[in-house]
Amino acid sequence: MRFRSPRLLNLLDAETHPEITFKSTKFHKDGDKIKADGLLNMRGVEKPVTLDVEFLGSDPDAWGGTRAGFEATTTLNRKDWNIEWNTVLDNGGTVLGDDVEISLAIEAIQAK
């Protein structure tokens, strides 16, 4: 996973924990949707999450293989991964909400 902001790197403690991993344990249909259950490891904390997956299509590639595109989303509570930093604004609100929306663009290559 690539990080775009130096502040995000600090918030995620990327120097100590440079990788975020998701290991799927189960795929299943929920109506017309695909769900991917698995374990998300972030900041050294591993918790179960479910991704909502959308299949975008597949095509042959230039090397004789097949590639497929997917988008996946989920919402996490950042405090579940010990991301506690926040600051109070003048109006009494806070800079960060607890819920974080995760969006993934995935390209899969069929194994031969």
According to the model, what pLDDT value does residue 65 have? 92
According to the model, what pLDDT value does residue 107 have? 95
Global confidence as pTM: 0.74
3-state secondary structure (DSSP) of residue 33: strand
Counting the structural domains of the chain, the total is 1
According to the model, what pLDDT value does residue 62 have? 92
Q: Please name the residues in contact with 71: beta carbons below 8 A apart, sequence gap of 6 or more.
A: 53, 54, 56, 103, 104, 105, 106
- Mean pLDDT, 10 residues at a time, the chain of 112 residues: 50 80 95 94 93 96 94 94 78 80 94 80
Domain membership of residue 1 (yes or no) is no
According to the model, what pLDDT value does residue 7 have? 54
According to the model, what pLDDT value does residue 1 have? 43
CATH of the domain at 19: 2.40.128.110
According to the model, what pLDDT value does residue 84 have? 74
3-state secondary structure (DSSP) of residue 46: strand
The residue segments making up the domain with residue 104 are: 6-109
Task: Please count the CA atoms within 13 angstroms of the CA of 111 that sit on its side-chain side.
Answer: 0
Q: Give me the helices (H) in the chain, please.
A: 6-11
Angle at 54 between CA 9 and CA 69, to 5 degrees: 75
